[in-house]
Amino acid sequence: MISKKKIILWIILSIFALCFLISATIIIIKLVKINGEVIGAEAAIGLFSLVGTIIGAVFVVVELRNSNDVTCCQTLIELNNYFHDNERLMKVYSVLDKAHVWNKNDKDAWKKVDDQDIEFFCTFFENLYLLVEHHIARIKDLDNIFGYRFFLFMNNTYIQEKYLLTTSSSYVNLFKLYELWITYRDSMNKRGGCNLIVDDQNRFTKDYLKNKVYLVDNGVGKKLYREIKNDTHNILIRDVWFDELSKVLDLQKEVINKMDNNELCVPLTRNEYIESLHLDYVLGAYDKDELVAISVIVDNRKSDRNLATKFALACKDYYTFDIVFVKDSYRGLGLQKEFIEVAKKQAKIDGAKHILTTVSKENKHSYNNIISEGFKPFKENVLMYGDHHREVLKLDL
């Protein structure tokens, strides 16, 4: 419905237009003559008809907009009622809400929700995106009703790792809707709004959305790179995948917490791991099913995470051997060297000519391992990762 203020505004505009029409008619009647004959009456009729048409058109547009608003409103009310009446949607929503409020978001919390329930939830919001894409509804219309539910879902770590990221290219419309919605929320909050984004710490970054990283979908394969056998262990080095991201973060935290000086290693953020899982190599060393070591290798793409960028070098020629974390009980098995061997092989396959890495000189064990693999000093005492001093080493392939 049009508000009372808008109705009054249109009435005032109509009166103004009518006054303009009468004044113009009088002037034409008095002043317009050809060969001494007054022709203002005909001109006035034409002008009256034109202004009347314009006013009519304006009211038609307003009425159509009003009609569209009513249709949109009815559609959203029906969708909201459908959501609450649907057992599958409410089952997923209930677990999402508990995960947020009570921080219960493990496998047990989701055991009563099956894959079809999740797909059904995704389809609901993909349909909302179609409403926006075809100008039936705006993000502003959706926000108050569906915003909480949408961000609960999209920012839930279990949903991200098990579903959204694992086959991300299947959810293009969800990511498009997410980008529009999060942009709207950020814009409103900058203007003093208070529409906070639930579980904001797990949001997808602007670069992730802008660069459409979600389109780089490598499937769910876990390529095996190396196998290490000895009397007590049979360790496999293979790709880590999205559904193992929580294990990676837990191992990183465990290793850093046990270091005598945790300033020697700067952890990667969850979003950096997500980016590398799409675009680079995130390798895990597994003893049976236990993750005992991880390494991230940034390939020769153009990125701030490729160390070549920092030194104005051609990214296509450089790999970056980023981080290694090894569980205490598995130190001394040469896992860092095994990860470096994988980096060498993949760099040659991708046409890179060098590998760069950083290390603190105080981390003598790691420094010596890297030197023993053929790396040589490239830049000394470089300030990186905030205010940390690092040695930069280079390996020529």
- What is residue 266's three-state secondary structure? coil
The domain limits of the chain are 4-69, 86-215, 224-396
Asked whether 359 and 391 are in contact (CB, 8 A), the reply is yes
Q: Per the structure block, which two tokens stand in for 217?
A: 């979908």
Residue with tokens 């490239």: 378
Residue with tokens 């060393």: 285
**Secondary structure letter of residue 243 according to DSSP:** G
Alpha carbons 145 and 125: distance in angstroms, whole number: 12
Q: What is the pLDDT of residue 232?
A: 85
pTM for the predicted model, two decimal places: 0.82
Neighbours of 44 (CB within 10 A): 19
pLDDT 10s digits, 237-282: 999 999 999 999 999 999 999 988 877 888 999 999 999 999 999 9
What is the CATH T-level fold of the domain 224-396, as seen in this structure?
Aminopeptidase (3.40.630)
Alpha carbons 21 and 52: distance in angstroms, whole number: 9
Q: Per the structure block, which two tokens stand in for 133?
A: 């894409």
Asked whether 359 and 307 are in contact (CB, 8 A), the reply is no
pLDDT 10s digits, 127-181: 999 999 988 889 999 999 999 999 999 999 999 999 999 999 999 999 999 999 9
Mean pLDDT of 213-235: 86
Q: Is 271 exposed, middle or buried, given 0-12, 13-18 or 19+ CB atoms closer than 10 A?
A: middle
According to DSSP, the β-strands at 354-359 and 388-396 are: antiparallel
Mean pLDDT of 213-222: 82
The fraction of the chain above a pLDDT of 70, given in percent, is 82
According to DSSP, the β-strands at 354-359 and 318-326 are: parallel
